[in-house]
Structure 1
């Protein structure tokens, strides 16, 4: 469903070369929390802070709001692009954002939500499939307007299999209610607190997704903010 930015005023679009690649969440006026994999190419090359900008305060990924340069990035020291563990990052932007009804900070949750807890996530990830009648291919459609999805914290996947979920990961979503490519780095929110960061999910975005647990990495996040 379409979201207005006032419904998720902590949401930002992380962009490189004029294109949206990931979401992020405003923790303070000059700190954004996102996923580590957003800063790596598919072949494992890490990009520099100067390669990125952030758009804040707009539900449109390509217009409106405020564009701010990224000046520092710290990905988790244990992150590897090959397995997406420790998929958390902090970045500092070049100037303090002005807080309005469209730009707000979000606090860090202190504990993982219980199974069955309602949550929601937002972003500009692929939202639908489009069938190409010419060659029979199926393509994902990338929205311009911010999307939002209501999720449930999982104890099982959509096939009913019980999940053994590590404490550094939160599983949420279902077959038709989930995140997709382009949502990476964006927020998983419970009770107006940031509990997770969009990390990964099934190839066709047709099941539960994995979110990096903010409570698990809370101390790392706070220490990193002090150091960058």
Structure 2
């Protein structure tokens, strides 16, 4: 019988502060356990296989699925992974990160060094003030991969029609319902390189690509939720 270590967690104080930058970032602590079926990222320096008894020199990561309480009965424990996609020896203490928590407030406003010339290939678009209902049709555009199996990215802007999903269909935490819009399905979704792209409903931007997989729904930062913040950020940039 497998026994879990009771209260197997600790907080450390480092002798020297970590330099925050591209290779080291802070991250929010979750307040609620993720629902079964949610996608998570597992990272660590452990063995990449039980048959390869050497630790990697580059941080490894893999996407795993959160399991149900029936598969993991201890309320103090969250279970995730499968036989082929899981942690291994040396990964103890590594983080299990759910995308919703890792990409909170994943939105920015940029001021360009030169203005964009408005014309046939570049137009302005309105910002939505209300989130679209589940079932609404939307358009996503981007320069990302057209398939998870095709490494080359397109040289022409791509676009596809997708359906807005409900929060339940996209495993969104309750406290993120207003902040995240979910859309797409396997074969009709955003992919690697589409981050920051627009989700458009009725000629208004309702979302910005945040996170997801190339073979399933994508999570978008809700433009209606951040509408006032966006306008305030624009005002500050032009003071």
In structure 2, the CA distance between the partners of 1:110 and 1:156, relative to structure 1 (3 Å rule), is closer
Task: Return the alpha-carbon distance in structure 1 between the equivalents of residues 193 and 24 of structure 2.
Answer: 18
Q: Post-superposition shift, 1:95?
A: 2.4
2:232 to 212, 223, 226: 223
Q: 2:140 aligns with which of 98, 121, 124?
A: 121
Report the TM-score when normalising by structure 2.
Answer: 0.54
Matched, 1:180 2:180: no
Work out the CA distance in 1 between the residues paired with 2:105 and 2:236: 18
* Residue deviations 1:199-218 (CA, integer Å, cap 9, x gap): 0002xx11100000000000
After TM superposition, the score normalised by the length of structure 1 is 0.57
In 2, are the aligned partners of 1:115 and 1:154 still within 8 Å (CA)? Answer: yes
Q: Deviations over 1:58-84 (max 9, x none)?
A: xxxxxxxxxxxxxxxxxxxxxxx9711
**RMSD between aligned alpha carbons?**
2.6
What are the ranges of 5 or more consecutive residues in structure 1 without an aligned counterpart? 1-39, 46-80, 131-138
- Which structure's residues are more often strand, by fraction? 1
Q: Does residue 1:41 correspond to 2:22, yes or no?
A: yes
Superposed structure 1 runs of 4+ greater than 4 Å apart: 160-165
**What SS does the corresponding residue of 1:223 show, helix, strand or coil?**
helix
Contact 2:167 2:177 in 1 (8 A): no
Q: Does 1:192 align with 2:211?
A: no
Distance 1:110 1:122 in 2: 20
How many residue pairs match? The answer is: 143
- Residue deviations 1:73-130 (CA, integer Å, cap 9, x gap): xxxxxxxx97111001000012222211211111100100000000010011111244
Structure with the greater alpha carbon radius of gyration: 2
User: In the aligned structure 2, how far is the partner of 1:156 from the partner of 1:176?
Assistant: 20
Q: Counterparts of 2:133 and 2:177 in 1: how far apart (Å)?
A: 14
